[in-house]
Amino acid sequence: MRAAFIRSLIDLARTDERIYLLVGDVGFSLVEPFARELPRRFLNVGIAEQNIIGIATGLALSGKIVFAYSLANFPTIRCVEQIRNDACYHNANVKIVSSGGGLAYGVLGTTHHVTEDLAIMRALPNMTVIAPGDPIEAGLATKAAAEWIGPCYLHLAKTGDPVVHKSAPNFQIGKAVTVRKGNDITLIATGGILASAVQSAEQLEKKGIKTRVLSMHTVKPLDSEAVLAAKRETKAIITIEEHNIIGGLGSAVAEVLAESANPAINFKRMGIKDLFCLEVGSQEYLRKACSLSVDNIVNEAIQLLQRCS
């Protein structure tokens, strides 16, 4: 996803002189093409993420569109105060980009896991929260964020993420993408775990279970219509996210369901329990440790549907 992001950003910056890129002394082998081609609109602020947000807000208030990029939780959790009081309070055109979302940097331990960011960003007024599901969505999300007025948070996975879409979907902020159709159960995924949701749907299909898969790439504003359609047209809903079970996609979908006219539906949130993931290993290993593997999703779907009978 990182490569798709930087390619899309360079293409946009070539025709829009307002676009700037700020980094926190990271992204080597990734951001150099932007720096070489557009050196006057590139700034390495150093390992000082609070300053990055302040500088980005200042540039934005002077008419620029500023992308602030860093790894994992550093451009989010480290500088929530600056994001809230600088970018959000002033409704500035600051686009915060976090690379290595979820458990992508699993080998570096808990300090590099970003499993609370969607909840934090979602709670901030004026903030739009986007977590693309594959590299194609990442490129489209970059363009959409650049065109969006106000602060955005772009939660990316990493390099080498599987491509889910066979062609570019109709990507709109606040509108889910239907990846697979089905009327038995709906899997709603956000972020890089979308591929696992699709693989789970394929396995469920072999068992005769017709599974709808939604890529909920925008967590805020959430596509309430897609959620309510899933409630009407399928028997159960599972949300899937590589994020704390509290405050992210599952919470957002639960809120929509709870406030609907007839909230009753078999519903399950799948995510990281309200604990730190203390194990160290690959992203795939940690997903299994956190009960977020394809097998886990398939089993949860079957058990949830059994409640319907």
Which residues belong to the active site?
49
- State both tokens at 8: 């899309």
Rounded CA gap, 36 and 165, in Å? 31
DSSP-H helix ranges across 16-125: 32-37, 49-61, 80-82, 117-122
Pair 100, 191: CB distance under 8 Å: no
Q: Reduce the DSSP state of residue 307 to 3 states and report it.
A: helix
Pair 97, 67: CB distance under 8 Å: yes
Rounded CA gap, 298 and 203, in Å? 7
Rounded CA gap, 257 and 230, in Å? 10
- 160 class by beta-carbon count within 10 Å (0-12 exposed, 13-18 middle, 19+ buried): exposed
Rounded CA gap, 98 and 75, in Å? 6
Taken as a whole, the chain contains a residue count of: 309
DSSP-H helix ranges across the chain: 2-15, 32-37, 49-61, 80-82, 117-122, 135-147, 194-206, 224-233, 249-258, 283-289, 294-308
- State both tokens at 291: 């009960």
CA distances from 90 to 56, 57, 82, 216, 269 (A): 12, 8, 11, 27, 34
